[in-house]
């Protein structure tokens, strides 16, 4: 039946998706030390992070199964992977920062973070990273088995993740530099960096997110035009180099 659905592009039922994911739900694809850590993280409700993930992942499967066509299910699966890997990109970027204020804008719309004091946010982001890591890995494999995700599509998804991680890292690291200047009572340096952020970095980041949105549309519903994307990314990279020179020039003046 699975082969028939896949060949004729018939949508899969919730039962189908849960059955094909049962092994992952029973034995999540994590190194033993990571799995042990996820079991030991227990919330106030008494549920471990690993069991919380099982419930969360089953909800993702239900969302995919709710789509009425095979193509819509495939698109939803890919979109879900990109969202989950966006959380991975946020954690990688935030992990390099000294101040929560440098990356708080990446998480403030999430209900879990809204309900928790900022002192807990770094730990919460690490937990969200683990959930995302597990679900994206499982959904990628499910997509290969049921929704014809081939090496080219997986490479497109990888490129999307790498670009999103790069955007978020540039954004939060620059904010962290501003925070360090302020904490060092170097107000002049902080103002210089803030001006560069407003006038140079933010417009670049907006353009990068516009390109990321185009990439998402192509990854989910079509295919990436590699030549076009590479040309756009090269142009943005040149802009980043120019900003880097400006940043270094200000650094030398500040010293």
Q: What does the alpha-carbon distance between residue 101 and residue 107 come to, in Å, rounded to a whole number?
A: 11
| Interval 74-88: pLDDT, tens | 999 999 999 999 999
Q: What's the chain's average pLDDT? A: 89
Q: Which residues, listed in sequence order, are joined to residue 21 by a DSSP beta bridge?
A: none
pTM beyond 0.85, yes or no: yes
The whole-number pLDDT of residue 205 equals 93
**Residue carrying the six token digits 């360090």:** 180
| Interval 140-180: pLDDT, tens | 999 999 999 999 999 999 999 999 999 999 999 999 999 99
| Domain coordinates in residue numbering, the chain | 1-148, 150-255
Question: Who contacts 232 (Cβ-Cβ below 8 Å, separation ≥6)?
Answer: 211
Q: Are 10 and 42 in contact (CB under 8 A)?
A: no
CA distances from 195 to 216, 236, 250 (A): 31, 20, 11
């Amino acid at each position: 039946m699975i082969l028939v659905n896949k060949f004729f592009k018939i949508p899969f039922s919730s039962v189908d998706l849960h059955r094909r994911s049962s092994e992952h739900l029973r034995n999540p694809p994590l190194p033993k030390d990571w799995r042990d850590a996820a079991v030991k993280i227990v919330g106030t409700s008494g549920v471990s992070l690993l069991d919380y993930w099982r419930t969360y992942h089953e909800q993702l499967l239900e969302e995919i199964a709710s789509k009425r066509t095979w193509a819509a299910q495939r698109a939803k699966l890919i979109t879900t992977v990109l969202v989950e890997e966006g959380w991975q990109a946020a954690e990688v970027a935030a992990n390099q920062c000294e101040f929560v204020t440098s990356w708080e804008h990446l998480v403030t719309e999430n209900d879990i973070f809204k309900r928790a004091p900022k002192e807990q946010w770094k730990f919460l982001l690490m937990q969200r990273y683990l959930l995302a890591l597990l679900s994206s890995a499982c959904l990628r494999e499910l997509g290969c088995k049921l929704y014809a995700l081939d090496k080219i599509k997986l490479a497109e998804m990888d490129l999307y993740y790498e670009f999103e991680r790069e955007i978020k890292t540039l954004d939060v690291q620059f904010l962290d530099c501003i925070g360090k200047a302020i904490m060092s009572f170097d107000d002049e340096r902080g103002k210089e960096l803030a001006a560069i952020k407003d006038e140079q970095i933010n417009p670049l980041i907006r353009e990068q997110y516009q390109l990321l949105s185009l990439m998402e549309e192509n990854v989910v519903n079509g295919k990436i035009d590699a030549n076009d994307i590479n040309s756009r990314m090269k142009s943005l990279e040149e802009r980043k180099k120019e900003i880097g020179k400006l940043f270094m020039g200000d650094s030398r003046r500040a010293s």
